[in-house]
A = this chain, B = another copy of it.
């Protein structure tokens, strides 16, 4: 059984998430997914993800519930890795299934945009000479705010 929310130090398996949502519900016409993975950058040897156990899982579950209700999804899965990982390894996988494509695609975009700024994860880059914390990007904050505004408009 594929857990809906998973925060783990073990390697993630993106194809397994897609497999879990594909061909499983006769009312689904669409399955969308997103994989975030460690990108090479000068000096990077490993990327480390710190988090706040317990709070992280709750934050992801709340984002998932919001997506499930807003887009009438059939299923949604969020798996996020923590600890150290190498270039090319998967940091996060988000997948959603729905009757129609726009719901599945938008929900996946929403989940990845929001979890970047609303779940307590912190990235640290380890190099040969030491390590540094990754600073938040303005573009990530803007993407997250976009969804906050969208939802506020609908609730208004």
Residues of A within 8 A of B (CB): 14-16, 18-19, 22-40, 87-90, 99, 101-102, 104-105, 108-109, 112, 143
Q: How far is the CB of A48 from chain B (nearest CB, A)?
A: 16
Instruction: Report B-chain residues with C-beta under 8 Å of the C-beta of A14.
Output: 18-19, 22, 31
Q: How far is the CB of A139 from chain B (nearest CB, A)?
A: 8
Instruction: Report B-chain residues with C-beta under 8 Å of the C-beta of A22.
Output: 14-15, 35, 37, 90
- For the complex with contacts A29-B38, A31-B35, 10 further pairs of A-B residues with Cβ separation under 8 Å are A14-B19, A14-B22, A25-B88, A27-B39, A27-B40, A28-B88, A31-B34, A31-B37, A32-B32, A32-B35
Instruction: Report B-chain residues with C-beta under 8 Å of the C-beta of A28.
Output: 37, 39, 88
Instruction: Report B-chain residues with C-beta under 8 Å of the C-beta of A19.
Output: 14-15
Instruction: Report B-chain residues with C-beta under 8 Å of the C-beta of A102.
Output: 143
Of all A-B residue pairs in the complex, the 9 with the closest CB atoms, nearest first, are A15-B15, A26-B40, A29-B39, A31-B35, A23-B88, A15-B19, A33-B33, A15-B18, A26-B87
Question: A24 CA to B31 CA in the complex, in Å?
Answer: 22
Instruction: Report B-chain residues with C-beta under 8 Å of the C-beta of A90.
Output: 22-23
Instruction: Report B-chain residues with C-beta under 8 Å of the C-beta of A29.
Output: 36-39
